[in-house]
Structure 1
């Protein structure tokens, strides 16, 4: 029997974006050597995604399954995806976000690379962010990801476009950390742990998904909160990988001092000033993380 690949989407109170993501999946080119299904895990207690799934069932070209996860927080939803995929007997789990849509050849590229790599590695693809027309041109640098070559091995990745071999996940006993449900970054911690335990993580640049950045995120206030949260997560990540608190704190404070100085010297150049300010926010988050600060960045999405 051909392997089963389950595409999972976690969602919370974004039914129209979810519908667009599912419509893009309905038009994707399917690899001949694998079976494909779709799972939607709804993290909204009011189950706002269920009408979307009901409207598609019967006409959707792929088997589609709906699951409601009542425990509030992204890691609970992601672990539910693991559970649902394993209950189906899936060999691979693919994550995309509910505010993304995929290129037609996305899955072909992602799975072909995974198969050619031996079928036991994590494979992450590219995410292209599209900003509102009203955003300054230089805001692209705040949302763009580092460009990586196909085949590059990574120490970690995220769940916004990734294929995971479930056999290896079971062998290693990997789960998303549920101790900080609204902080974000548990995907980075998950893949960091996978890498430390010997699982290879590769990049496939040709496997592309897209995301629209809404106007309420394309601003300095949102970016500042986000960078502070990222800093906290980076501190936690460094600490669990063996860095000492003194080392992490010293690094954070040095970065904070440098970024603050650049920010002060760039008061007349908005682009440079805002870039330096976001570095201030991230390094401040790192320092806070060393002292036990916890991020609640994603609580608003679940309140």
Structure 2
């Protein structure tokens, strides 16, 4: 009887210590006898900075760990390299996890049970964030997903997901769109899968823990994320609805946010100097609005801020 071939794919860039922790969590997964599991690390860099880390972990496990590089920088390029590797190695199921995450012991088993139990093509798992430093109170709160296991979803992201090779094989042939260099490439991929009637289910028991370094929750970094996210949404609209329609919509929205955010941030900054905590809160909320407005306009000009060029962690 042919074993089920499962590929666990990890994209990484200049974070060998985080990658090492991630790989150790993967080689200790519960593996069933009817599975053949392999791990593939795709380093998104022209230099093999993590090769030694991969070799060291590989020497201590019977699970095959493959290493390859994608020299063209950008998350969609690295993700597409994982898809090419998956097809070449004949995986039936592909799991994606980020290099700054640690999979709990039954992570893979829970994903595989979910696709079997719910006759699904995609299983999307939960992410528990471990903050080195807590985000400021003006930032978006972490809102847990309380849906039950098997709840149908219209999309997923790539930080904790298992999906059938049918998504990337003919006739579907889905790929990550390299136009999305600033975010949203994973949501776009799974939205396209959902549109093609592939079933995506929520699997809260398939848990990964994400290590969030303090640098990622510094105010400037958070504001830059807001800017980049807003630019990415403009990019999505341009690709799906056309440039003129999108440019008109987001130029108006961007200018409105820009004006309101600039006035609000300046006004509340003055009040904050008198020691008002509420004014500090409103000042940063206004700066977030300003950042989103700048992101909208940069998206319209098609020159968005490249948030992911800065690497947090090590």
Match of 2:47 in 1: 46
Q: Secondary structure at the match of 2:158?
A: coil
* TM-score of the aligned structures, taking structure 1 as reference length: 0.86
1:30-65 superposed Cα distances (whole Å, 9 cap, x missing partner): 345433211001122220111012112232142211
Give the root-mean-square deviation of aligned CA atoms: 2.7
CA distance in 1, matches of 2:145, 2:281: 21
Deviation at 1:13, TM superposition (A): 1.2
CA distance in 2, matches of 1:144, 1:124: 17
* TM-score of the aligned structures, taking structure 2 as reference length: 0.83
Taking a change above 3 Å as real, the CA distance of residues 130 and 196 of structure 1, as seen in their structure-2 partners, is: same
CA distance in 2, matches of 1:45, 1:118: 40
Q: Residues 238 and 248 of structure 1 are in contact (CA less than 8 Å); yes or no, is this contact kept in structure 2?
A: no
CA distance in 2, matches of 1:247, 1:198: 30
Deviation at 1:283, TM superposition (A): 4.2
Match of 2:124 in 1: 124
Match of 1:173 in 2: 173
Q: Which has the larger radius of gyration?
A: 2
The yes-or-no answer on 1:85 pairing with 2:83 is: no
What runs of 5+ residues in structure 2 fail to find an aligned partner? Answer: 270-275
What is the correspondence of 1:242-261 to structure 2 with a 5 Å cutoff? 242=241, 244-245=245-246, 246-251=248-253
Deviation at 1:122, TM superposition (A): 1.9
Match of 1:11 in 2: 12
Q: Residues 176 and 189 of structure 2 are in contact (CA less than 8 Å); yes or no, is this contact kept in structure 1?
A: yes
Aligned residues: 298
Q: Residues 43 and 71 of structure 1 are in contact (CA less than 8 Å); yes or no, is this contact kept in structure 2?
A: yes
Deviation at 1:251, TM superposition (A): 5.0
Match of 1:63 in 2: 64
What runs of 5+ residues in structure 1 fail to find an aligned partner? Answer: none
CA distance in 1, matches of 2:239, 2:130: 34
CA distance in 2, matches of 1:255, 1:172: 39
Match of 2:25 in 1: 24
CA distance in 1, matches of 2:34, 2:203: 19
Taking a change above 3 Å as real, the CA distance of residues 30 and 277 of structure 1, as seen in their structure-2 partners, is: farther
Between stretches 293-302 and 74-83, larger displacement belongs to 293-302
Q: Of 142, 151, 163, which aligns to 1:144?
A: 142
CA distance in 1, matches of 2:7, 2:65: 9
CA distance in 2, matches of 1:18, 1:227: 26
